[in-house]
Amino acid sequence: MKDFLNEIRRPINISLSRKFLYSTLIFIAGVILGVLSKVLDETASNSLPHFLEVLDLRNFFSRMGVWIFIAVLISVYSKSPVRSAINVFLFFVGMVGSYYLYTVMIAGFFPKSYMMIWIVMTVISPFIAFVCWYVKGKGIIAIFISSIIFMFISRQAFAFGFWYFYIINILELLLWIATIFVLYQSPKQIIKVITIGLLLRFVTSQSNLFWGML
């Protein structure tokens, strides 16, 4: 199995000190973004600077797209699938932990059901990150994983069907464009990823049972 996975993408070894530094910085970034997200939640829209009000960052950070994108970014630029799993897990621990500590200790309420969803996502995030690391690899498996990621990001950015198309969120449309650059390896590869991803996006748009929260 190890040889098979190495054929897709080969890990790069780095020193223990660099591993510790990168993981610590990622954890801190998660803490900062978690607190920032909660502060925006607790701040009235008309109390924010005008440009932040126009960008609607409160709604942006309350949706899944930005967190999926950041997790993918951390995952694909880690040096190995194991490092990817560790780094993404630490990011979500920092983000989710700081968000709900602020919610309980400062905002003064305890949203148990919603919090449990994010805790479950944090627990499973290392396994997903391990798989996502291979999107920068070679072959059909890398293309398929990339297409799944592209489909999830597309679901956040816009909706379309046989007779309609509309943009859901402008900032997530920018993330959608950024995702293309992150996943890009060659013109032929990215065309396959976009084509399969949009096809999956169209197929899944017909069902909203699980996809409603994504």
Domain ranges of the chain: 1-134, 139-214
Question: Of the candidates 117, 181, 127, which has an alpha carbon nearest to the alpha carbon of residue 153?
Answer: 181
Between vectors from CA 125 to CA 188 and to CA 34, what angle results, nearest 5°? 105
Q: How far apart are CA 213 and CA 179, in angstroms?
A: 20
**Whole-number CA gyration radius for the chain:** 18
Q: Is the dihedral of CA 175, 193, 124, 11 positive or negative?
A: negative
What pLDDT digit, counting tens, does each position of 166-181 carry? 788 888 999 999 999 9
Q: What mean pLDDT is predicted for residues 45-62? A: 70
117-165 tens-digit pLDDT: 899 999 999 999 999 999 999 999 999 999 999 999 998 888 776 677 7
Nearest to 181 by CA among 77, 67, 64, 86: 77
Q: Hey, what are 105's tokens?
A: 């200790």
**Residue 49: pLDDT over 80:** no
Answer with the residue of higher pLDDT: 141 or 212: 141
Model confidence at 69: pLDDT above 90: yes
Res 25: pLDDT? 97
> Tell me: the pLDDT tens digits for 17-42?
999 999 999 999 999 999 999 888 87
DSSP designation for 106:
I
In angstroms, rounded to a whole number, what is the distance separating the alpha carbons of residues 22 and 32?
15
Is pLDDT of 105 > 90?
A: no
Amino acid letter for position 23: S
Sign of CA dihedral 100, 104, 109, 115: positive
pLDDT attached to residue 101: 92
**Residue 46 above 70 pLDDT?**
no
